[in-house]
A and B are shown apart, each in its own frame.
Chain A
Amino acid sequence: MNIIEVVNLSKSFKAKKGTITAVKDVSFNVRMGELFGFLGPNGAGKTTTINILCTLLTPTSGKALLNSFDVVTNPNEVRQSIGLVFQEPSLDEKLTARENLEFHAMLYNVPKAVREERIKYMLAMVGLYDRKDDLVNTFSGGMKRRLEIARGFLHHPRVLFLDEPTLGLDPQTRNHIWEYIHQLRKKEEITIFLTTHYMAEAENCDRVAIIDYGEIIAIDSPSDLKKEIGGDVITVIAEDRDKAKKTIEEEYNFSVIENDEGLHFEVENGETFLPKFIKKADFKILSISLRRPTLEDVFLKLTGRRIREESAEANTALKIHARRLMR
């Protein structure tokens, strides 16, 4: 059964010159209980889609149902059905951790009888129970994120949206956050809708939609997506690159992608192929490596580009910096 159904959804914004279409005629379903991922570079339309699904934006055209409620005509029912962790912090830093959750519970009509219990439970689940009476402005970035995740789960939503939940956090904190999310997922019956541009996070999903320039270009489980890549990825750096490329293409009939890092091609069974390949090679190999394909390879194959992780990181750093300046 589908918890989210999206049909021909589009969203355009008026810009200085003409209009910008952030989401173009997108259709997809999310099944109940799955961990669904939106993978794509910054500006691909991930957040815009989420904002439509959570009733913050109205679509230009198309239809979206969440928990069988229409996001345009039944916004309050949709809002009650979802929890959100935004890309940017959305806590009241002048209130304590417990108060932030208390206000959320009140806004979402969590009955008073169970409110305290639920707040305590969620704080314990994300390891913040000891800090419950501290003001949020004394928390680290990772702690704030955990508190937001606890808040997202608080009112027993059917779908939890995580919009780049670990953006700007260091790898260790990132893993930590995911541990909490997986633990909570086991305990609560919930569908998780994740947007990310981190490959490792996307690999964890049951299904991934790859989105680029506002369009979904592939949607499947990570393993099936990677099957599109014909097996393993081999990267060769040769002294005579042109000769190597010619040999691989003509003798083995592989299609070679050439970039700064070397020559890349795909083979079905890398482990048995490599020794034979090295032995037969009539060009000098400087280095050779074999790896299982990643979603990055899938993205590269589908779009010819890499997901621009660096630029996204830089962008975030800038935003965080700007935020500090404003305070």
Chain B
Amino acid sequence: MSLVLDFFEYDFLIRAMIGVVMLSIVCGILSPIVVAKKYAFMAPAISHSTILGVALTLLCLPFSHTISLFLGTLGFTCIFVYFLARASHKGPLPSDSLIGIFLSTTMALGLIIHYKYIGGTSDLFSLLFGNILLLDNFDLLVLFFLFLMCLILVVRSLDRWIYFSFDPQGAKLSGVRTKLYHYGLFFLLTCLIVGAVKISGTILVSSLLILPGTFAYKFSKNMSSVFKYSVIFAVLSGILGLFFANSFGWPPAPALALTQFLLFLPFGLIPNKN
């Protein structure tokens, strides 16, 4: 019982909980779109390029504040991701090769800069795997903006996003600006991944983006329930994950990812009716 009460007693746990819930809602909304577009591996590709984003930011601003570090990383990563989005729109390469090239190149360059010019890689570990207990008010504010942006850009025109996901050509005929939505999706993913740095780290955020959608598609009989199930699954597993992390002393980000998998497992084993 005291483990539950912890969440009301310690500020850092309350902040962590609020952060996780907001991040889970955003991931729950975007996840079905990511899964339907078969972009499951775009998230890790973007994640890895944040290493280069952080490296370049640290290189430009050696004594950086959290805010400038965040904005710098977001800015640089957006630039790289723009090229990824452009290449995947109508590029000549198959998207899996594209992801492989993008991921390894940006990560390699990022690591070289970290080792050679910044020195020390201790920060790198917390960048990759997050440190939710250090979440401060600024991080919560960032997540809140992300949350608002997602509501405004996605939920308000959900019909268009759905149409864009299952039939881009038909959507284009019906006046959906599919190119804008394509770039918009990459932009949202980038914001989400950079915003999630402290909660899940850049690497494990991909599990938050894939499992809720996969879960929702397994059980939904129509589109309106897909997003509902996805958000519920994401929020529930987020809360449970944080609880496990606190109870068993697990590192929080892997705890979140693992909880999602464990929650999905019993349902995942049920054969599909369709």
Note whether A and B form a binding pair: no
Which B residues lie at the A interface, using CB under 8 A?
A: none
